[in-house]
Amino acid sequence: MTRVFRPIALFLFAISYLGIALPVLGHEFWLEPENFQPETGETVSVRFRNGQKFKGAELGYFKDSAVIFDWMQNGTRTPIMARSGDFPALQATADQDGLLVLIYQTKFNILKYTDWEKFVGFTKHKDFRGALERHAERGLPQEGFKEIYTRFCKSLIGVGTGTGQDDATGMETEFVALSNPYTDDLSNGFSVQLFYQGRPRKKTQIEVFEKTPAGKVNITYQHTDDQGKALIPVKPGHVYLLDAVVLREPTEGIAAKHDAVWESLWASMTFAIPD
């Protein structure tokens, strides 16, 4: 991997750095490569996106917001030397042939709910059964309460031949691709396994965002089996975002320090299917 330096997008940097108000961002956060299948020696350009329905605003890379930003390829994992204020978040030369897995974990952020129905909608959308009942059991208010959330993102990029295999990275929750989207026969689907704290996450909802070549987004839902595995139907020429969320009660220390009553952990994975 060779770092490609380019000027900072000053306007976007100023907005992020100075805290100028932006429109409210959406639920999902993902890594968006400009090209999922670059040739060896070409530049890999990747944007951070935050939004809904596989459409969202671009965010830059900021060191103070990142816990992990790594490049994993051919059995080697390398920290990415990005600079705060980079838009896009990554621009680097893919020196090696093979499957490239980008890994990004954020520090946690805090969300305050001022509308009970938004929390209700969130729990239903992400299939958090029993969350509303537990909220009531704990005697929590229906407005003015806080949630802390963290993102755990991966993206699969097929450099050159694209050969290789994804692997677990040690993030608290993550998708691990059991199929290689650039080399395997996917006529029966794309196989993936979902993990939480190193263990397969069984009977869990996966939200699947499918983007057609024309840019239309279709949304479907799958559930993992007893081994945390799921088989995702895929189509040639389409781009995919997988999303799965853990909702849990924070530890006493986190709850006291940040006045938060809920904690969410968001796993995402992006990849494309060749034509």
**pLDDT, tens only, 254-274:** 999 999 999 999 999 999 999
Decide if pLDDT at 13 tops 70: no
In a domain, 223, yes or no: yes
Please state the rounded mean pLDDT for residues 58-73.
97
pLDDT at 3: 53
> With bands split at pLDDT 50, 70 and 90, how would you rate the model's confidence at 1?
low
Give the separation between CA 121 and CA 116, rounded to whole angstroms.
Answer: 9
In a domain, 238, yes or no: yes
Q: Annotate 232-264 with DSSP letters as a single string.
A: E---TT-EEEEEEEEEEPPPHHHHHHHT-SEEE
Q: Which amino acid is at 249?
A: E
Give the separation between CA 138 and CA 132, rounded to whole angstroms.
Answer: 10
Asked whether 34 and 45 are in contact (CB, 8 A), the reply is yes
In a domain, 155, yes or no: yes
> With bands split at pLDDT 50, 70 and 90, how would you rate the model's confidence at 14?
very low
Sort strands 262-272 and 145-159 into parallel, antiparallel or unpaired: parallel
> With bands split at pLDDT 50, 70 and 90, how would you rate the model's confidence at 27?
confident
In a domain, 22, yes or no: yes
In a domain, 41, yes or no: yes
In a domain, 119, yes or no: no
Please state the rounded mean pLDDT for residues 24-53.
92
Q: What residues contact residue 124 under an 8 Å CB cut-off, 6+ apart?
A: none
- Structural domain including 79 reads 2-112+142-272
**Six token digits for residue 205:** 């909802």
Q: Which amino acid is at 146?
A: K
In a domain, 118, yes or no: no
In a domain, 220, yes or no: yes
Least confident window among 20-29, 98-107, 170-179, 192-201:
20-29
- Is this structure's pTM higher than 0.85? yes
How many domains in the chain? 1
